[in-house]
């Protein structure tokens, strides 16, 4: 319920009322959230109608009716939800799909393995900002895998068995997604085959595209692990993954080369390059990086969104400008074109 809570706070901060439309499976937890909010409203004498929820049971029909009758739509969740919101005929702020890929280059501090563990395991990897693939440069591959093992990451080479267990009928298995490590490991058939204390699994792979599901979002403590000959090859792999799924969201880089974040930003269709940080925590905003606090990331036109920013309180705010005349500050043509004329001629 973190996303509804976040958006409710944003809406109230900017003087709005808000109606929440959870997915059917989220109705009980959303009802509990609304109860907590209304209890606090009662303490301060506030109107409970400021925050409401579509009555249970939730449905697409009810949600569609809400989207067609409100003033502004803020949509997160599946891309089907996003598409429906954008087609409702009202102003809509929607966010795109995540499928974070992180590069570990040959200059990286291998202590990055601990940051990746913390990020990957947070909230059982259900965040859109959770790492889904690592691309590791050959020069540090063995050392990084060893550092992963120390930080609780186990590598299994049985890609076919993992894929079969994670997508038993072509859909992500509920026995695997959003599960604690021990339950996920058992569901993948890896109990007794990985070290005690394993917190997440990495599966070496080379495939990218619709016929290789490991390169997509997995919503579980499971990583696809790619090798790259050098940094240029790592960029190529990362770009290919992002164009398959996750374009516009974010990528990560662990490197001590100060020039490489900009190189990566220019090469990848992404709104965020998270540099040497635990990706899940950094993407959503941090006191140490200045990003707006958010649980919803716009992906720009790359991801089919109107915004590439973190969805935060300013997206819930409308303002009125009072416009008065001021003394003119009009530049001359010389001010504007002098440099160009000096170079190209007048």
Catalytic residues, by residue number, are 128
Q: Where are the beta strands (DSSP E) in 177-308?
A: 200-204, 222-228, 251-254, 273-275
Q: Using CA atoms, how far apart are residues 150 and 154, in angstroms rounded to an integer?
A: 9
Q: What is the DSSP letter of 248?
A: B
Largest CA distance in the chain: 78
Q: Using CA atoms, how far apart are residues 276 and 267, in angstroms rounded to an integer?
A: 18
Instruction: Kindly give, in sequence order, each residue whose CB lies less than 8 Å from that of residue 222, ignoring residues fewer than 6 positions away.
Output: 125, 162, 166, 176, 184, 188, 200, 201, 202, 203
Give CA 206 to chain center in angstroms.
Answer: 23
Q: Using CA atoms, how far apart are residues 279 and 287, in angstroms rounded to an integer?
A: 14
Give CA 289 to chain center in angstroms.
Answer: 16
Closest CA to 64 of 89, 88, 40: 88
Question: Helix (H, G, I), strand (E, B), or coil: what is residue 47?
Answer: coil
Q: Using CA atoms, how far apart are residues 199 and 184, in angstroms rounded to an integer?
A: 10
Closest CA to 282 of 138, 140, 119, 171: 119
Under a CB-based contact definition with an 8 Å cutoff, are residues 185 and 192 in contact?
Answer: no
């Amino acid at each position: 319920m973190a996303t509804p809570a976040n958006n409710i706070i944003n809406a109230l901060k900017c003087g709005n009322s808000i109606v929440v439309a959870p997915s059917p499976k989220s109705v009980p937890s959303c009802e509990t959230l609304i109860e907590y909010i209304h209890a606090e409203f009662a303490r301060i004498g506030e109107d409970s109608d400021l925050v409401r929820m579509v009555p249970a049971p939730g449905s697409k029909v009810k949600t569609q009716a809400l989207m067609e009758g409100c003033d502004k739509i803020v949509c997160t969740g599946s891309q089907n939800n996003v598409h429906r919101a954008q087609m409702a005929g009202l102003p809509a702020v929607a966010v795109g799909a995540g499928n974070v890929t992180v590069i570990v280059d040959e200059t990286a501090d291998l202590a990055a393995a601990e940051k990746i563990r913390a990020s990957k395991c947070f909230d059982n990897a259900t965040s859109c900002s959770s790492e889904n693939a690592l691309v590791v440069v050959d020069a540090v591959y063995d050392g990084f895998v060893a550092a992963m093992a120390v930080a609780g990451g186990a590598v299994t080479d049985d890609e076919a068995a993992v894929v079969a267990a994670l997508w038993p009928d072509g859909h992500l298995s509920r026995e695997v997604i959003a599960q604690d490590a021990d339950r996920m490991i058992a569901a993948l058939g890896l109990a007794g085959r990985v070290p005690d204390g394993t917190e997440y699994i990495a599966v070496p792979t080379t495939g990218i595209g619709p016929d290789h599901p490991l390169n997509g979002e997995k919503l579980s403590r499971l990583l696809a692990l790619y090798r790259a000959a050098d940094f240029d090859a790592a960029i190529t792999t990362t770009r290919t993954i992002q164009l398959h799924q996750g374009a516009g969201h974010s990528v990560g880089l662990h490197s001590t080369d100060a020039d490489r974040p900009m190189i990566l930003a220019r090469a990848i269709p992404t709104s965020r390059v998270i540099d040497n940080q635990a990706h899940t925590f950094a993407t959503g905003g941090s006191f140490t990086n200045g990003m707006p606090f958010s649980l919803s990331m716009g992906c720009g036109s790359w991801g089919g969104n109107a915004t590439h920013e973190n969805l935060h309180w300013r997206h819930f705010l409308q303002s009125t400008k009072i416009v008065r005349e001021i003394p003119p500050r009009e530049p001359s043509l010389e001010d504007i074109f002098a440099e160009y004329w000096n170079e190209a001629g007048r």
